Amino acid sequence: MDFANYDPAGARRSREIISAKIVVAGGFGVGKTTMVGAISEITPLTTEALMTAAGVGIDDPSKVPGKETTTVAMDFGRITMAQDLILYLFGTPGQTRFWFMWDEIIRGAVGAAVLVDTRRITDAFAPLDYFENRNLPYVVALNRFDDAPQYEPEEVREALAISPDVPLVMCDARQRESVKQVLVTVVEHAMLRLQADQGRGHQPAPVG
Amino acid sequence: MEPRRDPRGALVRPYAVTRGRTEPSRDIALEAVLSSTPTQVAESRFAGHDKYRIATVCEGRAQSLAEIAAYTRMPLGVTRVLVADLVAEGLLTLHTAAPAEGFEERMNLLGRVLSGLREL
């Protein structure tokens, strides 16, 4: 028998892999996949979900001849942090009408980053409202586009009506260091929120 | 990130591979990680082509449900049904997704993710 690969400790460790996820949201074309790709160890992958019963009534299939299902695609990336810890980054589908998919994406998530393009600031309203409603900790990240008007962060905060306790950071979704900083902010904010909830004697509400 | 449409239509009805079942036997999170041993992969050969593909994808490197769906190019819902079956049949090992409740567990996890990010 060959025991060259025999590693009982390794086998035990491999039984307990924990995975966590952070959500990247924002309007179409705001740079969600770019952001995921800037830090992911794999080229962002796409997984597709078919809109079935959950979409009935939202999308009326009878209005689209020959089309019975809609496919919703979402992109995601992976960061293996340790042998037993993997962080996944999930981009939300661009169109907010696919709420059933959002519910699935945020369930159990650490928190979210809402990417904002200052040229299309209203695109951020839907994700902001959604995370607010679902009690998911989130931060707002202003993606710097070279040709976009430059606003002060506080102007954007006011325009988006973001409460003072929500972190707002500038970022460049193409730059790994910048994306890393956004994600660090998400996790720090999630920890603060969790501590605050605990301090008030609340059980941490399950997200989703 | 946008809905896609294949004008040719699906060659096989998506849920045909699950014999029409759309509800998985157990709930598996998108990011829940699964792995398989060489023995499990060998045994999965007898469980059908799609299940064998899934077991193969998870051999040697743990993969999330989302990754399995992406690599096998199967829709998420279909993948979830098949993965749940494989777990029930002992052909795939399901690892824990992030604990959603419990202050200590959650804090501990967030702390580990935070230091993991800083070390990148």
Among residues of chain B, what percentage have pLDDT more than 70? 88
Interface test with chain B among A6, A24, A47, A52, by most B beta carbons within 10 Å: A47
Q: A152 to chain B, minimum CA–CA distance in Å?
A: 27
Which residues in chain A are contacts of B70 at CB distance < 8 A?
45-47, 76
The three state secondary structure string of chain B is CCCECCCCCCCCCHHHHHCCCCCCCCCCCCCCEEEECHHHHHHHHHHCHHHHHHHHHCECCCEEHHHHHHHHCCCHHHHHHHHHHHHHCCCCEECCECCCCCHHHHHHHHHHHHHHHHCC
Q: Three-state DSSP class for A4? A: coil
For residue A56, the chain B residues in CB contact (below 8 A) are: none
**Has this prediction a pTM greater than 0.95?**
no
Q: Which residue of B has its CA nearest to A31?
A: B1
Calculate mean pLDDT across residues B46-66: 96
Alpha-carbon distance of B112 to A206, in angstroms, equals 20
pLDDT in tens, B89-118: 999 999 987 766 788 999 999 999 999 999
**In this predicted structure, what is the pLDDT of residue A50?**
78
Give the pLDDT of residue B4: 55
CA distances from B112 to A148, B26, B104 (A): 36, 28, 12
Mean pLDDT, each 10-residue run in order, chain A (208 residues): 49 69 92 95 91 50 53 91 96 76 91 93 91 95 84 89 94 96 98 91 61
DSSP A45-103: EEEEEEE-GGGBTTB-GGGSTT---EEEEEEEEEEEEETTEEEEEEEPPSSTT-HHHHH
Q: How much is the pLDDT for B120? A: 92
pLDDT at B40: 97
| Token pair of B50 as six digits | 């799609």
pLDDT confidence of residue A130:
92
pLDDT at residue number A95: 67
How many angstroms separate the CA of residue A146 from the nearest CA in chain B?
Answer: 23
Which residues of chain B neighbour A108 with C-beta distances below 8 Å? 29, 31, 97-98, 100
The answer to whether B108 faces chain A, any CB pair under 8 Å, is no
- Closest residue to A71, CB basis, from B4, B96, B102: B4
- Nearest CA to CA, how far is A135 from chain B (Å)? 13
Chain B closest-CA separation from residue A112 CA (Å): 13
Within the 53-82 window of chain B, which residues sit less than 8 Å (CB to CB) from chain A? 62, 64, 66-67, 69-71, 75-77
- Kindly list the residues from chain B whose CB atom is less than 8 angstroms away from the CB atom of residue A188: 114
Q: What is the pLDDT of residue B5?
A: 54
Within 10 A of B14 (CB to CB), how many other CB atoms are there? 17
Place of tokens 């604990």: B99
Average pLDDT of chain B?
88
Residues in B closer than 8 angstroms to A21, CB to CB, are: 30-31, 98
**Residue B43 pLDDT > 50, yes or no?**
yes
CB contact under 8 A, B1 and A105: no
**Nearest Cβ partner of A28 from B1, B67, B106?**
B1
Q: Is the pLDDT of residue B1 over 70?
A: no
The distance of B89 to chain A (nearest Cα, Å) reads 17
Measured between alpha carbons, how far is A110 from A89 in angstroms, rounded to an integer? 10
Check residue B42 and give its pLDDT. Answer: 97
Higher pLDDT, B59 or A100: B59
